[in-house]
Amino acid sequence: MDIVNILRDKILNAVNEYAEKKNLKQSINTDIVVVERPKKQQQGDYSTNVAMVLAKALSSKPREIGELIRSRLREEEIVESVSLDGPGFLNITINLEFWNLLISEIMSNKNLYGKFDFGQGRKANLEFVSANPTGPLHLGHVRGAVFGDALSRLLEFVGYRVTKEYYVNDGGAQINVLVRTVYYRYLQKLGEDIDLPDGAYPGDYLLPLAENLIDKFGKKLKDIEEFERDKIIRELSVEYMMKVIKSDLKSLNIGMDNFFSEQKMINSNVIENSINNLKDKGLIYTGTIEAPKGKTYTNWQAREQLLFKSTEFGDDIDRPIKKSDGSWTYFAPDMAYHADKLKRGFDVVIDILGADHSGYVSRLEAVIKAFAEKKVEFEVKLVQLVKLIKNKKVLKMSKRAGDYVLIQDLLEEVSPDVIRFVMLSRNNDVPLDFDIDLMLSKSKDNPVFYVNYAHARIVSVLKRAAELKMWPITGEEDLQKRTTPFIENELALVKKLSEWPNVVKQSAKFHEPHRIAFYLNEVASSFHSLYQSSNAYGQYRFIVEGSPDLCTTRLALASCTQIVIKNGLYLLGIVPLDEMY
RNA sequence: GGCCCCGUAGCUCAGCUGGAUAGAGCAACUGACUUCUAAUCAGUAGGUCGUACGUUCGAAUCGUACCGGGGUCACCA
């Protein structure tokens, strides 16, 4: 029972009726017809712009169409009244009885309330984190990780078959740097007095690995021939770093379905194959590209390179796929990787990247267009920078300086749920200030506390009620017993809960989980308000001792609120608290 | 210089993809604890939606130009 759809169907039927009466043959675009909850209470429970947006197509005046639709809407059972206001808005007030039905609907649907089949079983691939296995995760990665995980949960909830994927960059030059750094750390651990070479990874996170090497090989590694030795270290280093990263992800409550190795592609002939595929399409050629204008390069050399004709698909310049030493650029295996995603039959492919990769987007879009054999929905979500703030000061984090806040250290101070909620409370393409002191505060400053507190209060109320042998109503039959109508604050909460399916829909449609975080705050606010006002008037409390009949629907309302909060937090990957401490 | 993102209350941000008198939280001020958890609530105050044109019944939202902030620009990943 989706009220928006009920109203919408009724409205569109009326529109068709009108069109037939006027003998209009051409089809009418009804996508622009919106049925929504208006901002102002005086504007009813729902309002629609239908009369205004379709006036032209129906070659008529807004108020004339409005009148017809109004009379049709009034036939609908759930509609209490309809008014035609302003420039032609139809403001619809819903029958009070309906809100009772909504409560019983939520009670019976429980964690399925708000679910709908938007994806229709289509396969979606979400690639996120994909951090180089050369160091631990930083806050930027965490934001991408949390975002990707939440979006995955959301898409899964609305009927997509989701694969969460991590692309492991274990093949490029940065791995050689890692190997070299690890070897030096190993030598240092053996007591040799040497500094790390230029460009090596600073920070002491590789020290445990060096110790592992000593445990395993003693001094023997030094005697092994360099090529062979690097191979050994490479394998162990990547394995070790991925273990660290995986455990970081796990402690954030994030699990991946698939880790896709770049090195494996390099070892096979997958990359050659996909490049050849493009060659056949005439999209690969040898040529030179010009230096970007406006930026001065001291050592620019025009150079013949193997290029991918990405300009064919809207990119600014064609992109090199081979370096001067003959090895692949980063882009080449990534092309093959994306070709592989398409080959695996995904209908939706979403890449979640840091904003510093924005220049990479049009290139990827070109790759998808070049390889796609069917219609594929491709989107790159860019996640903006995270600033870590403590004592009102920005903590600078640079990999080069080894100046790092480790995820594990952060987690000692802040729970993963807080991190998740804060990071998801913001649109992904706006920078985020992550203030540790605020996260630790136990007040409304800390948004997840506010939502959790509402949840804990509900749990507490229901528990107390159960002790007094009072229970929420469960279904329609019980509702018949209801004698007292909702008071204003209760109604406000019910209506807020009725918005949940639409919140899910919009969040999923636009790939914007932050809408859920905002909505949960509104639900919590509405609940706290009701709780507080009931407190002031004893007879409106959730529990009125000695009057169980008065309480059943109120308890059901509390229970429904709990259901929605729980569902919402679940989609954000957060477990609600039953009590506060 | 090109491309991408941002600019909304003192601060941090929403704004349902074109709707009605632009909304929250924080900070400020006023008030509410014999409680189903005051880690909360009620209220007051706070705005040329960066600027200017344009598109139309209607613009914070769309277009163009400009201003300001951030990111990025072959042989890194």
User: Which of A182-191, A394-403, A467-476 is most confident?
Assistant: A182-191
Please tell me which residue, A529 or A474, carries the higher pLDDT value.
A529
Written as six digits, the tokens of A402 are 């080894």
Mean pLDDT of A312-324: 91
The answer to whether the A3-94 and A443-572 domains have the same CATH topology is no
Residue position matching structure tokens 């905002």: A518
User: Which of A1-15, A17-31, A444-458, A489-503 is most confident?
Assistant: A489-503
> What is the CA A492 to C1' B61 distance in angstroms?
27
Confidence of residue A168 (pLDDT cuts 50, 70, 90): very high
A537 vs A542: CA distance, rounded Å: 11
Decide if A52 contacts A89 (C-beta within 8 A).
yes
| pLDDT, tens digit, 9 for 90 and up, residues A532-547 | 988 766 778 888 887 7
> What is the CA A356 to C1' B72 distance in angstroms?
6
Mean pLDDT of A175-182: 94
pLDDT given for residue A516 in this prediction: 97
Asked if the A443-572 domain carries CATH number 3.40.50.300, the reply is: no
Mean pLDDT of A443-467: 89
> What is the CA A444 to C1' B26 distance in angstroms?
9
Q: Domain A3-94 belongs to what topology?
A: Gyrase A; domain 2 (3.30.1360)
Read off the amino acid at residue A475.
G
Find the residue closest to B72 using CA and C1' atoms.
A359
Find the residue closest to B2 using CA and C1' atoms.
A293
Find the residue closest to B5 using CA and C1' atoms.
A429
* Residues contacting A362, CB < 8 A, separation 6+: A310, A314, A315, A316
A394 vs A369: CA distance, rounded Å: 41
pLDDT given for residue A482 in this prediction: 59
**Nucleotide nearest residue A323, measured CA to C1':** B75
Which nucleotides on strand B sit less than 7 A from a protein beta carbon? 1-7, 12-17, 19-27, 32, 35-42, 57-58, 70-77
**Nucleotide nearest residue A380, measured CA to C1':** B4
pLDDT given for residue A478 in this prediction: 61
Residue A477 pLDDT exceeds 80: no
pLDDT given for residue A92 in this prediction: 94
pLDDT given for residue A421 in this prediction: 94
Confidence of residue A48 (pLDDT cuts 50, 70, 90): very high
**Nucleotide nearest residue A55, measured CA to C1':** B57
**Nucleotide nearest residue A360, measured CA to C1':** B72
A8 vs A13: CA distance, rounded Å: 8
pLDDT given for residue A436 in this prediction: 82
pLDDT given for residue A444 in this prediction: 62
**Nucleotide nearest residue A435, measured CA to C1':** B12
> What is the CA A158 to C1' B57 distance in angstroms?
37
Residue A483 pLDDT exceeds 70: no
pLDDT given for residue A23 in this prediction: 78
> What is the CA A524 to C1' B43 distance in angstroms?
20
> What is the CA A329 to C1' B1 distance in angstroms?
26
* Alpha-helix runs per DSSP H in A372-513: 407-413, 416-424, 436-440, 447-467, 476-480, 488-498, 500-509
pLDDT given for residue A400 in this prediction: 47
Mean pLDDT of A446-461: 92
Mean pLDDT of A551-568: 93
Q: Note the ipTM here.
A: 0.95
Mean pLDDT of A320-335: 92
Find the residue closest to B3 using CA and C1' atoms.
A359
pLDDT given for residue A484 in this prediction: 65
Closest C-alpha to A543, from A441, A427, A465 = A465
Give the homologous superfamily in CATH for domain A128-256+398-414: HUPs (3.40.50.620)
Closest C-alpha to A1, from A134, A116, A173 = A116
Domain boundaries, chain A: 3-94, 128-256+398-414, 443-572
> What is the CA A253 to C1' B49 distance in angstroms?
38
DSSP output for A113-155? TT---SSTT-EEEEE-----TTS---HHHHHHHHHHHHHHHHH
Comparing A74-78, A83-87, A183-187, A245-249, the range with the smallest average pLDDT is A83-87
| pLDDT, tens digit, 9 for 90 and up, residues A388-422 | 887 777 776 555 444 567 788 888 888 899 999 99
Confidence of residue A1 (pLDDT cuts 50, 70, 90): low
User: Which of A7-11, A135-139, A334-338 is most confident?
Assistant: A334-338
Question: What Å distances lie between residue A218 and A186, A187, A189, A227, CA to CA?
Answer: 10, 11, 11, 19
Instruction: Quote the mean pLDDT of chain A.
Output: 89
**Nucleotide nearest residue A38, measured CA to C1':** B20
**Nucleotide nearest residue A32, measured CA to C1':** B18
A404 vs A395: CA distance, rounded Å: 9
> What is the CA A74 to C1' B60 distance in angstroms?
34
Find the residue closest to B56 using CA and C1' atoms.
A53
**Nucleotide nearest residue A333, measured CA to C1':** B77
Mean pLDDT of A433-454: 81
Confidence of residue A302 (pLDDT cuts 50, 70, 90): confident
